[in-house]
Amino acid sequence: MNEKTGQFDPHDMQRLTGLYDVERYLFENVSARFALAGTLTPYDFFAIVIWKSNRTKTKIVRGLASVGKTVTALMSEVSAASTSDGRVNTLLQIPGIGLAMASAILTVCYPHEFTVLDYRVWDTLHSNDAPDLPSRYPITTMEYLQYCLACKNLALRLSLSLRDLDRALWAKDWEDDLLELTHGMR
């Protein structure tokens, strides 16, 4: 046992610091591994699930079991799908995976094609009359793909990556809420 570090392995602690910024881990490491392997490990898949919505992880575990699919098999099917709607619909076949969760998984795996469906981002886009949005918060695959296209076009006009647009729009809604809360406070 090392007197200075107790039972902690310094190399493992370095690795764990990379997990602290989960989004960075997902978009730098998990995205790259998916691009190479065409699938995800359960660890990487559930890292995405927990990043998007920790409370749904157990539902998704049960959903995978109910259809007799492994994470690796599911994500291989997603990778093999020849169309964007095929990728979305493959994920939606799993009980517990809704459109918002599917969007998060696909965004990590295909960051130039998909974006996260999030109420904060939707509210910001909708309240600022962003062009080409679906008429309502997306609840179908086609509406979600229309949302992705509207976001891609806006990102291009703003000279941002699709991921940076998502971050900026989320931050705008977050900041607007904070400013409203703190307005007039000293």
- Bridge partners, residue 129, by sequence: none
Cβ count within 10 A of residue 160: 16
Per-residue pLDDT reduced to its tens digit, 82-140: 999 999 999 999 999 999 999 999 999 999 999 999 999 999 999 999 999 999 999 99
Count, residues in the chain: 186
Per-residue pLDDT reduced to its tens digit, 41-97: 999 999 999 999 999 999 999 999 999 999 999 999 999 999 999 999 999 999 999
Tokens of 130: 């962003």
- Res. 5 pLDDT band, cuts 50 70 90: low
Among candidate residues 108, 60, 111, 114, the one with its CA nearest the CA of residue 83: 114
Map out the domains of the chain as residue ranges. Answer: 11-113, 115-186
Among candidate residues 130, 146, 150, the one with its CA nearest the CA of residue 138: 146
Q: What is the dihedral sign for C-alpha 41, 42, 47, 48?
A: positive
Distance (Å, whole) CA 2 – CA 28: 32
Distance (Å, whole) CA 46 – CA 150: 28
| Contact status, residue 109 vs residue 78, Cβ threshold 8 Å | yes
Mean pLDDT on 14-33: 91
Q: Where are the alpha helices (DSSP H) in 2-98?
A: 10-20, 22-25, 31-37, 42-53, 57-67, 71-80, 84-92
Per-residue pLDDT reduced to its tens digit, 167-182: 999 999 999 999 999 9
Q: Is pLDDT above 70 for 8? A: yes
Tokens of 172: 């705008």
Distance (Å, whole) CA 95 – CA 62: 8
First-last CA distance in the chain: 51
pLDDT given at position 1: 41
Least confident of 2-6, 58-62, 106-110, 148-152: 2-6
Task: Give the position of tokens 């109420």.
Answer: 119
pTM: predicted TM-score of the whole model, two decimal places: 0.91
pLDDT given at position 6: 65
